[in-house]
Amino acid sequence: MFAILGMLVVIVSVVTGYLASHGNLLALWQPFEVLIICGAALGAFMTANPLSLQKRVFKMLPRIVLGSRHNKGFYLQLLTLTYCLFQKSRQNGFLAIEEDIENPFSSELFMGFPDVLRDHEVVNFLTDNYRVFALTGLASYEIDAIMDAEIEQMEEELLAPSHAVNKVAEALPGFGIVAAVLGIVITMGSIGGPMEEIGAHVAAALVGTFLGVFFAYGFVGPVSSHLESLGQHEVKALLCLKACLVSSVAGYAPPVAVETGRKLLPADLRPNFSELSDYLKQYR
């Protein structure tokens, strides 16, 4: 919601300043300039990125409006789910949670935490690494190294959409110049005609440069930064799980293992000790 508000502030500020300077708003209405700039930017984006990445970018765009799914409620559920897995495994052995690990999306335990279950990357990371620990019996430092390598790779994938959109933002001023040059070409063909017509063509060409810069720094660049922030939220959830798993493998009790993960959460989204303790009571 704040992203939409920010875009509105950009539009209102620019338009109000332009009108206050006695500008003609209709002079900015150049649909063919928009077609050249946006069409060329979209084509370049499609050329530069594989189809799978394009799909991920468009899939993430609605979350700019909806916000990150990783809020305090999500982290409370994530830590509680991790605690329940550790506690159940500690009391009854790995066989007691084997079915939960193998089929998390049909597991009664996992279905008790719907916010976590909607994040497939986090669920798969938790179950895959818990399975590795249970089947191999690796030491905590070895599990730590494996998860570090996996998180590094996943971070690249999670941040790839923001990098792809940022490349578009960097290219937009150039496409604005392309539109402006084409406008000048049209203008040169009008030399000798009425001055009003020549002036209109020059104005349209300059609008092309304006729109390229405006779209780049007012919208596409900030969208890229927002997508990067969403990706970083995913990474923080993975780091939290890694800390919990490593602590559990090292032999710490489930409440202590979960507490180590809690400390790695972002300060503005981190449930405090009392909140987490109260939430865990209903699962003990």
Instruction: Indicate the pLDDT class of residue 106, thresholds 50, 70 and 90.
Output: confident
> pLDDT tens digits for 176-198?
999 888 888 877 777 766 777 77
Could you tell me the CA-to-CA distances from 277 to 255, 256, 284 in Å, in that order? 9, 11, 10
Q: What is the pLDDT of residue 224?
A: 93
Which domain range does residue 153 map to?
A: 29-281
192 phi/psi in degrees, rounded to 5: 100, -15
Cα 268–chain centre separation: 18
Q: What is the pLDDT of residue 112?
A: 87
> pLDDT tens digits for 188-245?
777 766 777 777 778 788 888 999 999 999 999 999 999 998 888 888 889 999 999 8
Mean pLDDT of 160-171: 94
Q: How high does pLDDT run on average in the chain?
A: 86
Q: What is the pLDDT of residue 231?
A: 87
Instruction: Indicate the pLDDT class of residue 1, thresholds 50, 70 and 90.
Output: low
Residue 235 maps to a domain: yes
Residue 10 maps to a domain: no
HEC per residue, the chain: CHHHHHHHHHHHHHHHHHHHCCCCHHHHCCHHHHHHHHHHHHHHHHHHCCHHHHHHHHHHCHHHHHCCCCCHHHHHHHHHHHHHHHHHHHHHCHHHCHHHHHCHHHCHHHHCCHHHHCCHHHHHHHHHHHHHHHHHCCCHHHHHHHHHHHHHHHHHHHHHHHHHHHHHHHHHHHHHHHHHHHHHHHHHHCCCCCHHHHHHHHHHHHHHHHHHHHHHHHHHHHHHHHHHHHHHHHHHHHHHHHHHHHHHHCCCCHHHHHHHHHCCCCCCCCCCHHHHHHHHHCCC
What CA–CA distance (Å, rounded) separates 26 from 36?
A: 19
Is 38:46 a contact under the CB 8 Å cutoff? no
Report which listed range, 93-102, 125-134, 237-246, is most confident: 237-246
Q: What is the pLDDT of residue 163?
A: 94
What CA–CA distance (Å, rounded) separates 246 from 248?
A: 5
What CA–CA distance (Å, rounded) separates 41 from 249?
A: 49
Tokens of 109: 């335990």
Tokens of 39: 């069409």
Residue 157 maps to a domain: yes
Instruction: Indicate the pLDDT class of residue 6, thresholds 50, 70 and 90.
Output: confident
Residue 38 maps to a domain: yes
What CA–CA distance (Å, rounded) separates 122 from 3?
A: 25
Distance between first and last Cα of the chain = 37
Residue 1 maps to a domain: no
Residue 260 maps to a domain: yes
How many domains does the chain divide into? 1
What CA–CA distance (Å, rounded) separates 175 from 75?
A: 43
Neighbours of 76 (CB within 10 A): 21
Which residues are within 8 A (CB) of 57 and not within 5 positions of it... i.e. 6 or more apart? 49, 161, 164, 165, 227
Answer yes or no: is pLDDT of 131 > 90. no
Per the document, the length of the chain is 284
pTM of the model: 0.82
Mean pLDDT of 139-150: 85
Residue 9 maps to a domain: no
